[in-house]
Structure 1
Amino acid sequence: MARKGYHHGNLRQALVDAVLPIIEARGPTGFTLSEVAKAAEVTPPAVYRHFEGREDLIAEAARQGYGIFADLMEHAYETGGPSPLAKLETVGRAYLAFARKFPGHYIAMFESGISINRNADLAARSARAFGVLERAAEDVTRHLPPGRRPPPQMVAAHIWATAHGVVELFARGSPGTKSPFPPEDLLESAIGVYLRGLGLIPQDA
């Protein structure tokens, strides 16, 4: 097949689209830019018109992923149900859904070693996504007296870490076949145990 050279309408996006399945299959370090160029049906020098190197391309995949991720998290928060706990659990399920539906983006975001501070837009999109969890955590903790109220940022970070652990162990790849419980049930029960331990929901809830 003849290479398309620079005839893409949007070569930059075509290269991101080409690298995502490669990242999913091989990880963030298992490819060269020449392989991405071949997948996008362009010549290798064309890649360097848009990206300085492999990390720059991965960072763009991560930036776009965080935008999708933040949109999904915000939608989950806004439509998640009548109670703060329901909203928090819906946001958690949206995290799992994103990891399943956008594995290439997810790996670029969380497993590539790319700093979220690599550029301002990447940092802003990451902050917007984490901000949704912070708002949900603040809703859950609001009823506690100030002296007993944990910082929403800490609660959000703990829940983010829990969701990430469920994804890594049970929601992506072959380890997921070993869990006797659906990932959503694992995450929901973990959130419940955590919030009960903090006294944020009744023991019998």
Structure 2
Amino acid sequence: MSTKRGYHHGNLRQALIEAALELIAEKGPQGFTLSEAAKAADVTPAAVYRHFAGRDDLIAEVAHQGFGIFAALLEYAWNEGRPSALAGFESIGRAYLAFARKYPGHYQAMFESGLQPGNHSALAQVATEARGIMENAAEALLAVLPASRRPPATMVAAHIRATSHGIVELFLRGNGGSLPYSPEDLLEASVGIYLRGLGILPPDR
């Protein structure tokens, strides 16, 4: 009987996902091979193909799990817009940064692997759910503006995602260490400037 760790604990699939997470955090989503993932999980390369068609399939499952965690965190942060849409929107931004900090392997698989979610239906679905939470929050926030001055909620959510991602990249790569600001401070200032430009926040806020 094999004494390989993957077979012993009875959950080879999850062992491979956890091995991939460590490799992604260390080398990036394109920096390792399927054989390396098998070795890290202490199983033969042939055993990997019982669960994943290839490396992209493995990374897609990492991303899928990541988006599930991400969506749950965003939903919790939004809290149905309580105590206010603005407070919920700001909490979503902080949750974005917190997720990237706590789950770097998932984050890179989700946003830096080059995967096309359309090629992975389950991944596309959960990614859409996470994006929808941010879009719903943006729509609630924009409700204070006259309809004639209201940009599309999808655009506002995309702007905030892009800003958040840029700040994550700055600090994730170690380039923000010399700045006298935390990622949260940078995001709060950026979102504040953006919302004042839209007319959602007064100039002195």
TM bucket (normalised to shorter chain) is: over 0.9
Aligned residue in 2 for 1:102: 103
Residues 18, 36 of structure 1: 8 Å contact kept: yes
Q: Deviations over 1:124-181 (max 9, x none)?
A: 11111111111111111002111111111110000010000010012x2421312210
Aligned residue in 1 for 2:31: 30
Could you state the TM-score of these two structures normalised by the residue count of structure 1?
A: 0.94
Aligned residue in 2 for 1:187: 187
Deviation at 1:31, TM superposition (A): 0.9
Structure 1 unmatched ranges of 5 or more: none
Aligned residue in 2 for 1:66: 67
Q: 1:85 and 1:196, CA in 2 relative to 1: closer, same or farther beyond 3 A? A: same
Deviation at 1:4, TM superposition (A): 3.8
Deviation at 1:7, TM superposition (A): 4.0
Q: Secondary structure at the match of 2:118?
A: coil
Deviation at 1:188, TM superposition (A): 0.7
What fraction of aligned residue pairs are identical, expressed as a percent?
61
Aligned residue in 2 for 1:84: 85
Deviation at 1:93, TM superposition (A): 0.3
Name the aligned partner's letter for residue 67 of structure 1.
G
Q: Deviations over 1:41-82 (max 9, x none)?
A: 111100011111111111110011000000000000017751
Could you state the TM-score of these two structures normalised by the residue count of structure 2?
A: 0.94
Whole-Å separation in 1 of the counterparts to 2:112 and 2:70: 15
Structure 2 unmatched ranges of 5 or more: none
Moved more, 175-184 or 21-30: 175-184
Across the two proteins, how many residue pairs are aligned to each other? 203
Q: Secondary structure at the match of 1:204?
A: coil
Moved more, 118-127 or 154-163: 118-127
Supply the RMSD in Å over aligned alpha carbons. 1.4
Aligned residue in 1 for 2:151: 150
Question: Which residues of 2 match residues 154-193 of structure 1 at below 5 A?
Answer: 154-170=155-171, 172-193=172-193
Whole-Å separation in 2 of the counterparts to 1:51 and 1:8: 18
**Does residue 54 of structure 1 match 2:55?**
yes
Deviation at 1:35, TM superposition (A): 1.1
Whole-Å separation in 2 of the counterparts to 1:60 and 1:150: 34
Aligned residue in 2 for 1:200: 200
Q: List 4+ stretches of structure 1 deviating above 6 A.
A: none
